[in-house]
A and B are shown apart, each in its own frame.
Chain A
Amino acid sequence: MESPEHQLEELKRYCTKLKAVPEGGVTYLYLEQLRLPAGCTPAVCDGLLCPVARDGYPSRLFLSVQVSSPYTRNWNVSNARIAEKNWVAFSWKVELKDPTLARLLIAHLNGFTKEK
């Protein structure tokens, strides 16, 4: 398993600024100007990765705006208030055993490029 420092460095490549945001006993990872896969509009938006279980999902990726992508997604969270900001999220369940943070993020971003 890669060290937490290395994992954070890897994650930094996906955004302009990375910040750990502790709230309600969970450390969220705030990804400013997160890069989204090709075909997404907008191409970047702020993201908030919750690497632990929440709302019945093993992990979640919150976004600052609802993103248009090649496949219609079920945006089942709107206006979730975390770190003094409102977030949206689509229903996407990622099941990876001991993923690195970057792999977890990629698996969530893959929700924009995968049909089901």
Chain B
Amino acid sequence: MQIEQTFEIEEADLEECLKRGERVPHARRYRVRIDCETVKIETPHPTGEALLARVGKRPCAFELIEEFVHCENNVVEPGETVDLRKHGLKGFITAHKEIVTIFINDKPYQIERGERTVAQILSKVDETTEGYILLEEKNGPPLPLAPDIPVKICGCEIFHSQVQAGGSS
């Protein structure tokens, strides 16, 4: 019977290993730099989404980029698995996406970041301001938005639509 022996240390620091020219060893935890933060990851194969979450970011607004020595960069998809022991991996940076994901009536939609009109947002679900109210759920319950005031889209915003049903009398 063949037994594969792996020596595991408590914690491995990616950048330190790189400086010493050593391969990143098997470890219980990996110290990884994401932007200016150093985080501890408990698996050698986290997903892009999991790494983003460690710095309080989500794939609906941000992308994760692997940084290698010799200035090579590689975009990591949210569901993609990263090998933290990969040779030359320095750490990660995040970048705000230009095309972000918003959620309308619990479904994801792509939209350009920046100021958008209520009509532009409603058009994603084939609805118009004549027939529908757009509600935004932001730090609280869904509240109606004025159709003529631009809505700032950064990514991950949650909207709902509801049939127009009121009027001054």
Q: What's the dominant secondary structure at chain A's contact region? A: loop
A111 to B168, Cβ gap below 8 A? yes
Contact A70 B168 (CB under 8 A): no
Residue interface bits A93-116, CB-to-B below 8 A is 1, else 0: 111100100110011111111111
Question: Is A83's beta carbon under 8 Å from chain B?
Answer: no
B165 lies within 8 A of A70 (CB): no
In the complex formed, the residue of A with least CB distance to B139 is A35
Chain B residue nearest to A111 (CB atoms) is B166
Query: Nearest residue in B to A11 (C-beta to C-beta)?
Result: B141
Q: Which residue of B lies closest to A35 (CB)?
A: B140
Docked complex Cα distance between A70 and B147 (Å)? 11
Q: Is there contact, CB below 8 Å, between A106 and B167?
A: no
B145's partner among A38, A74, A94, A108 (CB-CB below 8 A) is A38
Instruction: Give the contacts of B43-78 with A (CB-CB under 8 A).
Output: none
The secondary structure that dominates the B interface is: loop
- Nearest CB in chain B to that of A69: its residue: B146
Collect the chain A residues with CB atoms within 8 Å of residue B135's CB: 106
A93 to B158, CA, bound (A): 27
- B142 A106 Cβ-Cβ under 8 A: yes
Give the one of A13, A14, A36, A109 with max B CB within 10 A.
A109
Q: Which residues of A contact B166 (CB under 8 A)?
A: 92-95, 107-108, 110-111, 114
How many residues on the B side are at the interface (Cβ–Cβ under 8 A)?
A: 20
Interface residues of B in 1-54 (CB under 8 A from A): none
On chain A, the residues within 8 Å of B148 by CB distance are: 115
Q: Given the complex of chains A and B, what is the CA–CA distance between A32 and B164 in angstroms?
A: 26
By the criterion CB–CB under 8 Å, are B163 and A96 in contact? yes
What distance in Å separates the Cβ of B153 from its nearest Cβ neighbour in chain A?
15
- Given the interface pairs A35-B140, A106-B133, A106-B162, the reply to whether A92 lies near B167 with Cβ below 8 Å is yes
B165 touching A39 by the CB < 8 A rule? Answer: no
Cβ distance A34 to chain B, nearest Cβ, rounded Å? 10
B168 surroundings in chain A (CB, below 8 A): 73-74, 90-93, 111, 116
Contact with B144, one of A37, A95, A116 (Cβ below 8 angstroms): A37
Q: List 15 A-B contacts (CB under 8 A).
A: A13-B140, A14-B140, A36-B143, A37-B145, A38-B149, A70-B146, A106-B142, A106-B143, A106-B144, A108-B166, A111-B166, A112-B144, A113-B133, A114-B147, A115-B148
Q: Which residues of B contact A (CB under 8 A)?
A: 133, 135, 140-149, 162-169
Q: Interface residues, chain A, CB within 8 Å of chain B?
A: 13-14, 35-39, 57, 70, 73-74, 90-96, 99, 102-103, 106-116
